[in-house]
Amino acid sequence: MSDENPPSGSGSTKSWLDKVGQWLQSEPQNRQQLVDVIQDANERELIDQNTKEMLEGVLEISDLRVRDIMIPRSQMITIDIHDKVEQFLPIIIHAGHSRFPVINEDKDHVEGILLAKDLLLYGFDHHDQDLELSSIMRPAVVVPESKRIDKLLKEFRSERYHMAMVVDEFGGVSGLVTIEDILELIVGDIEDEFVKAKEMRQTIRRVNSTTFAVSALTDIDDFNDAFRCELADEEVDTIGGIVTHAFGHLPARGEKITIGGFQFKVSSADRRRVIQLQVTIPDKTALNSRDN
């Protein structure tokens, strides 16, 4: 076959080889080129979809700051340093978390971090009144809202701690961040069987008189019953579906929208779905929600 009559498709093959040659001769010059390389590798089945999403997650955290992923102050579950065992133990059991900020008076005064596993060293059959939280809590790590996520992840790993308190420019506590929050950006939602079952039982949780934490998987009918409203969408069955449909795109953490008088803020989301919502009600007197 002569050079004057190249086979069908040879032009595209040459173009592809040229592109590969360029990649081999030099590194991607910008982020978009790197994204293109990852996308192309996925399309040619050199990497699977999960690997592609993890690589994209690694790129994503390089652009994020702690303020973008932190658990806000209003959703922090804390323990007062002066509480007795019978006061804080139900909080730990109900929340099901492994770590709790220990505060003195208010959330701006964090004295340390209590690891639930540290309580296993003590027996509570007789409700040990002499146990002082100050004697078993760990030091609290503090980071600014503006800290880069990739640098924080490196510190989490090198310093071997899993939670940090987040402060604003004035030194006030604005939230907390955990290593799990960062890893979920890379590998997707992390949840164990206990947490998953608990979230299914507790899809609506009161934060304050007008604000609620609501699982995006909450059935629309359950949401309407709890908040005495009539939100509806024939195309979806969950409140997360209604919110996503209203945005017209998959919203990122922190995005807000008002639907039927309710303000919805995305408090947790990954690249595939909305996970948790913060709902502010228009009139607390019109509420029939239950805190269970």
Cβ-in-10-Å burial (0-12, 13-18, 19+) of 104 comes to middle
CB 268 within 8 A of CB 203: no
- The upper half-sphere exposure of residue 7, i.e. CA atoms within 13 Å in the direction of its Cβ, equals 4
Place 28 in a pLDDT band, splitting at 50, 70 and 90. low
More confident residue, 257 or 23: 257
Q: Give the lowest-confidence range in 14-23, 108-117, 198-207.
A: 14-23
Question: Between the CA of residue 100 and those of 4, 44, 78, 91, 110, what are the distances in Å?
Answer: 74, 46, 6, 10, 10
Per-residue pLDDT at 6 exceeds 50: no
> Which pLDDT score, from 0 to 100, does residue 138 have?
92
More confident residue, 6 or 243: 243
CB 131 within 8 A of CB 123: no
138-141 own/partner pairs: CB under 8 Å, 24+ apart: 138/112, 138/113, 138/114, 139/112, 139/113, 140/101, 140/102, 140/110, 140/111, 140/112, 140/113, 140/164, 140/165, 141/165
Place 259 in a pLDDT band, splitting at 50, 70 and 90. very high
More confident residue, 1 or 135: 135
Q: What is the mean pLDDT of the chain?
A: 78
Residue 231 one-letter amino acid: L
Per-residue pLDDT at 101 exceeds 50: yes
Per-residue pLDDT at 9 exceeds 70: no
pLDDT single digits (tens) 155-171: 998 888 899 999 998 88
Per-residue pLDDT at 126 exceeds 70: no
> Which pLDDT score, from 0 to 100, does residue 173 have?
94
Q: What percent of the chain has pLDDT over 70?
A: 77
Place 65 in a pLDDT band, splitting at 50, 70 and 90. confident
More confident residue, 4 or 134: 134
What is the Cα–Cα distance from 234 to 236, expressed in whole angstroms? 6
66-187: CATH number: 3.10.580.10
What is the Cα–Cα distance from 174 to 155, expressed in whole angstroms? 20
Q: Which CATH fold would you assign to the domain 201-286?
A: 3.30.465
Per-residue pLDDT at 188 exceeds 80: no
More confident residue, 216 or 96: 216
- What does the CA dihedral 174, 204, 248, 253 come to, rounded to 10 degrees? 20
Token look-up 């961040």 returns 177
> Which pLDDT score, from 0 to 100, does residue 18 have?
57
Per-residue pLDDT at 24 exceeds 50: no
> Which pLDDT score, from 0 to 100, does residue 3 have?
46
